[in-house]
Structure 1
Amino acid sequence: MVREVMRSSWEKLSTKIVGALLCFLTLALLAIGMTLFLSWQLEGSSAAINETGSLRMQSYRLTMLVTRLDAEPFEASLRPASERQVQLIDATLLRLTRGDPQRPLFLPPGSEIQHEFGRIRQVWQRTLRPGVVSLLEVPERQPARLLALQRNAEDFVAQVDGLVRLIERDSEQRTFWLRGSQLVLLGMAICGTVSMIYLMFMLIIEPVTRLREGMERMTDKDFSVRLPVESEDEFGQLADGFNQMADHLQALYGSLEDRVSIKTAELEDQNRELALLYGIAAFLQRPLPLEALCEGFLQRIREYFVADGGSVRVLDAVRGNLHMVVHHGLSVELVEAEHCLKVGDCLCGEAVEKKITMVHDMRTVDRDYKLQCHREGFATVSVFHIHAHEQHMGFFNLHFREPKVFSKREESLLETLGQVLGIALENLRLAAREREMAISEERNLVAQGLHDSIAQSLNYLNLQVQMLDDSVKHARFEEVAGIVPALRLGVQESYEDVRELLLNFRSRLMEDDLIGSLQITIDKFRRQTGIAAELVADVDGAPFPREQQLQLLFIVQEALSNIRKHALASRVEVRLQDSQDFKLTIHDNGIGFDADTLLQKGESHVGIHIMRERAQRIDASFAVSSVPGRGTTVELHLRHEQRRAA
């Protein structure tokens, strides 16, 4: 196991390159280290030559000082100078003995040089130095000893010269080896460069070139190209991967036409499904009655799936009945028999009860031909549910005389279409409920208007009739003469109230022109009452939707009606200020009223209550302010946050 891991690691390209570089680096470091070592030794030898050569000068100077001391024994400075010179020679010999690696300074390690240096030290320690010391200790002249000292000094200098020559010869040899190592290093650099170029060519450039040529052939649709796998490194793995890719591409290219045909057929099926889905969705958005929507829906899915028959049934959740709304391709007997099913009856009712999609193969479900649909020759009957917002609303059937198997995609499509139809049916119900609510609210407003006008007038007339009846019974004819004009006036006012209500209820916007409709209403008010009325409009905001415009028109009509009945005004101003916020102000210069009294009446003042309800419908604030003798002002304010888009 360990051998296999080591073998696989050595087969990696990175390992080969790093190994070769480390090998060349090791050899280069060895050669450079050898060169540095030889250079260091040459520097030490040169310093040793200098130090050894200085012994000659120091010996001559010592001999000269001792000779002068013998000739001039009373010279005070000669003796200390001689002693210092002796110490200097001792120090020089000691440095040569110990060496100094930092300078560097050391004698070459050759045996001959070391032997000669030992002789020089012995001569100095045993002969020359003791002679100098003895001459320095005795102040009298000693010519014989001085002569012996000079001869010993000459022998010492000769030995030093011999040592210097030996060191120089050793340095010459080391210089030769230094030049040789430099030449070897140069040769290694040349060989290493050539070897690295060859290695890079073999390991990288050649495999990359083969790979590039293979890719070029692959680009030219030559899928038969294969690369030789000559190693197990990264390039070998890359070549093997290239060959696998070529095999895969060759197989794909060979079956490309078949794949394109399959994908094209799939895309066509998807496009047909999308066209069906979008077509049905667009059709169901039309404002059509229930039967027309179901008819168009059934016709489209029947044509798409080539069904021999079909039906759409709507669930009556209260009674648990399933009513057939439309049907295609079914016999009269089958329609009459299953026009109204109970939940749980037959196969379709069972599917509704379980709330699951079912596709029945009638040949296996009903072998004895007990079911009407099987007796009529249908081999497959499918049941798909109609639902919206988790509310079950019915189902639709597709009948096939030949066996039909739905794919998962087809079942998903039919279930989606059931949701779309369910949303359309729910929208129909919501629209009908909204119309009912609008009619109910409008009837409530009509009732309030009748109560505020006709009902009060009729109540007044009822009181007058009772008074008239009582006066006739008691023969108070003078009271009858006063009551009859009051009755005539009450009937006239009731007639005018009815006429005004009919005119208001019949009011419509002129092509969504709020300003034009208000101007017509104010002109009619001015003609009917003779009261000066003016419309001031500063309109620069976004247009209102039709519902809000109608409510604003009704509010103005109700306010003008109240002015006509109660205000006794001679001038009315209707002002519109429309920028971002909308403000409607209706002001008259009539008799006004007490605001506290109005608050006490609360909702019993039907006219103001009706205007407030209409303002609330459009999310506007409504206020009435009045001072007795100073007229009345009606204000409606609609902030831009509550404005709806037209």
Structure 2
Amino acid sequence: MQDISGPSAGFSESVTDQGLYKLPALRVLSEIATSLSTNVDIERLLERFLSTMVRLAGAGAGAVRVLTADGTGLRLIGSIGLPEEMLEQERIVPLGCGVCGQAVHDSAARSTEAVHLCKNNSGLEFFGDHCVSFVAVPLQHKGHVLGVYNLFMFADAPPIPEEVRLLFSSISEHLGMALENVRLTQENMRISLMNERQMLSNEIHDSLAQTLAYMNIRLEMLKESVHTGDKQFTEKYLGDMEDALESAYSGLRELLTQFHHRMDPRGLVPALQDLLAGACKKTEARVDFTNHTHGLNLTPDQEVQVFHIVQEALANICKHSRAHNIHLNIEQVDDAYRFTITDDGIGLCAAGHPGPGMHFGINIMHGRAKQLGGSVEITSQAGAGTRLTLMFPSQPPRKRDNT
């Protein structure tokens, strides 16, 4: 077995004009860099560059494998020139198998002519009859191997030039970085999904679950009043349950609306601009947006909480306020952010008290503000509009360490 990661190990020095390989090498690296900057299927990308690896090495066949999810094996994702029986038998090979395992263990490219060992292990006539040597080039990032290219050399194959060896090293690093980026992206997506589910669970618990618990208590009291023939309390408890049912139904609609309308991936400010544009279309009111901060420095979680608070406030304005003017103002006061939403509508309490659905939305806004470490304050007068002020620290609150 040869280590081909060092200078000229296992390679020919007969190529005097090494500049012959420089232009293809630059083209390959440029193509890889371009591919990494676009949203591509990483397995298709690795398979596509397999043909480049085979061609540059002068190999008769090739394969590309990636680490399995449990990290115990290498899974075949692409091949060139390999017999069908080999593809079936080696769809997944153990991580420590032969030269591939050695390359993974050492995080370095390896080559060998001892193909009889592979023939003994697999029973495949391909080794020896066709393949007389092969190379394993690991795909790695920061010393962590994430996959491997196998290049199978036939009897008439020339030695691999030095420039190609160096190119393989660069390709390995670039594609290894791409694999790592995909892994991190998938991990972040899983975390985001779990956080979103937890958020939904919390909101259901803090709103619908409490309303249903209240209805259950009232139901027992209703049964008792019916049993005793108390008509006055029977009517009261029926009214309470009707109000609670309306509140639960409105709350469910609000939750569904919030989770159907996702925040703009460009960030909070574009998302708020879209919300205000939507409010303008729904109410035909004049909408103003003023941002006095020099770039909001919020975490993704903070952005989501603020977005949904403003969304709920605007929904209430559109449904109930009959406003002609709506204004959103953002400013930084010392170490806190202040979001103020004002309208010149009929006022929150113009009809006596907010309805159950509005109560539900206000409760959710308070809950979101609490998660931000801040507060929501609502002031309103009949005929004089409503002002909602959200204030929270510019730095996210630290989570308690329970250990």
TM-score normalised over the length of structure 1: 0.46
Is 1:413 aligned to 2:171, yes or no?
no
- Among 213, 217, 220, the alignment partner of 1:466 is 220
Give 2:38's aligned residue.
286
Give 1:379's aligned residue.
132
Give 2:20's aligned residue.
268
- 5 Å-filtered alignment, 1:54-453, equals 265-316=17-68, 318=70, 320-362=72-114, 372=124, 373-402=126-155, 403-453=157-207
Distance 1:270 1:516 in 2: 50
Q: Do the aligned partners of residues 364 and 497 (structure 1) sit closer, same or farther apart at CA in structure 2, a change above 3 Å counting?
A: closer
SS in 1 for 2:235: helix
- Among 586, 609, 633, the alignment partner of 2:341 is 586
Distance 2:304 2:154 in 1: 57
The amino acid that maps onto 1:633 is: T
Q: Following TM superposition, by how much is the alpha carbon of 1:427 offset from its aligned partner in structure 2, in angstroms? A: 0.6
Query: Normalized per residue, which structure has more helix?
Result: 1
CA RMSD of superposed structures (Å): 4.3
Q: Following TM superposition, by how much is the alpha carbon of 1:385 offset from its aligned partner in structure 2, in angstroms? A: 0.8
Is 1:607 aligned to 2:365, yes or no?
yes
Q: Do the aligned partners of residues 369 and 323 (structure 1) sit closer, same or farther apart at CA in structure 2, a change above 3 Å counting?
A: closer
CA contact (8 A) 2:366 2:375 kept: no
Higher relative contact order (CA 8 A, sep 6+): 2
Q: Following TM superposition, by how much is the alpha carbon of 1:273 offset from its aligned partner in structure 2, in angstroms? A: 0.8
- Among 378, 389, 395, the alignment partner of 1:633 is 389
SS in 2 for 1:379: strand
Q: Do the aligned partners of residues 564 and 464 (structure 1) sit closer, same or farther apart at CA in structure 2, a change above 3 Å counting?
A: farther
The amino acid that maps onto 2:139 is: I
Distance 2:279 2:204 in 1: 20
Distance 1:452 1:370 in 2: 60
SS in 1 for 2:241: helix
Q: Following TM superposition, by how much is the alpha carbon of 1:366 offset from its aligned partner in structure 2, in angstroms? A: 7.5
CA contact (8 A) 1:358 1:384 kept: yes
Q: Following TM superposition, by how much is the alpha carbon of 1:538 offset from its aligned partner in structure 2, in angstroms? A: 2.8
CA contact (8 A) 2:222 2:234 kept: yes
Unaligned 5+ runs, structure 1: 1-261, 528-532, 592-604, 617-621, 640-646
- 5 Å-filtered alignment, 1:46-61, equals none
Q: Share of identical aligned residues, percent?
A: 23
Q: Do the aligned partners of residues 347 and 553 (structure 1) sit closer, same or farther apart at CA in structure 2, a change above 3 Å counting?
A: closer
Q: Following TM superposition, by how much is the alpha carbon of 1:481 offset from its aligned partner in structure 2, in angstroms? A: 2.7
The amino acid that maps onto 1:634 is: L
Give 2:356's aligned residue.
none
The amino acid that maps onto 1:277 is: L
Unaligned 5+ runs, structure 2: 1-14, 350-362, 396-403
Q: Following TM superposition, by how much is the alpha carbon of 1:476 offset from its aligned partner in structure 2, in angstroms? A: 4.0
Deviations 1:208-247 (A, max 9, x none): xxxxxxxxxxxxxxxxxxxxxxxxxxxxxxxxxxxxxxxx
Give 2:3's aligned residue.
none
Q: Do the aligned partners of residues 505 and 489 (structure 1) sit closer, same or farther apart at CA in structure 2, a change above 3 Å counting?
A: same
Q: Do the aligned partners of residues 287 and 544 (structure 1) sit closer, same or farther apart at CA in structure 2, a change above 3 Å counting?
A: farther
| Larger-Rg structure | 1
Give 1:196's aligned residue.
none
Q: Following TM superposition, by how much is the alpha carbon of 1:462 offset from its aligned partner in structure 2, in angstroms? A: 1.4
The amino acid that maps onto 1:397 is: N
